[in-house]
């Protein structure tokens, strides 16, 4: 059963990607493909994840905070962007600081 979990969440299959800290996030490019099969795959993966939580099964995977926030219906903040794309986050902070210096 654990091999099914590892296969479903493995980045090489394209459904999930890893951030700089090797934490898993849903792959946004995968969502751009409009296909009922893909929607059913994510629903199945969600059920696997729910089953593992219910059965207290340790998956040995680390999920990024923003993804976990979505799962428990918490809102993400601008600072959560750092866990998704640290270079984009740093660039936006740099731009914001530059803008403050101009005023």
Give exposure, 58-68, as e/b (b: 16+ Cβ within 10 Å): ebebebbbbbe
Query: What pLDDT score does 33 carry?
Result: 66
Q: Which of 30, 47, 46, 28 is nearest to 38 (CA)?
A: 30
Q: Do 15 and 30 touch, CB atoms closer than 8 A?
A: yes
Name the residue ranges covered by the structural domains of the chain.
Answer: 2-102
Per-residue pLDDT tens listing for the chain (103 residues) = 678 888 888 888 888 999 989 999 988 887 766 677 787 888 888 888 888 889 988 888 899 999 999 888 999 999 999 999 999 999 999 998 887 666 5
Q: Which of 13, 31, 9 is nearest to 22 (CA)?
A: 9
pTM of the model: 0.74
């Amino acid at each position: 059963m654990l091999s099914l979990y590892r296969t479903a969440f493995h980045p090489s299959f394209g459904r999930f990607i890893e951030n700089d800290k090797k934490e898993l996030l849903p792959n946004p490019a995968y969502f751009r493909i409009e296909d009922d099969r893909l929607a059913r795959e994510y629903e199945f993966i969600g059920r696997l994840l729910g089953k593992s939580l219910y059965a207290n099964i340790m998956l040995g995977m680390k999920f990024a905070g923003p993804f976990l926030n979505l799962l428990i219906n918490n809102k993400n903040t601008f600072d959560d962007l750092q866990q998704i794309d640290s270079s984009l986050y740093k660039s936006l902070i740099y731009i914001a600081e530059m803008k403050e210096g101009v005023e």
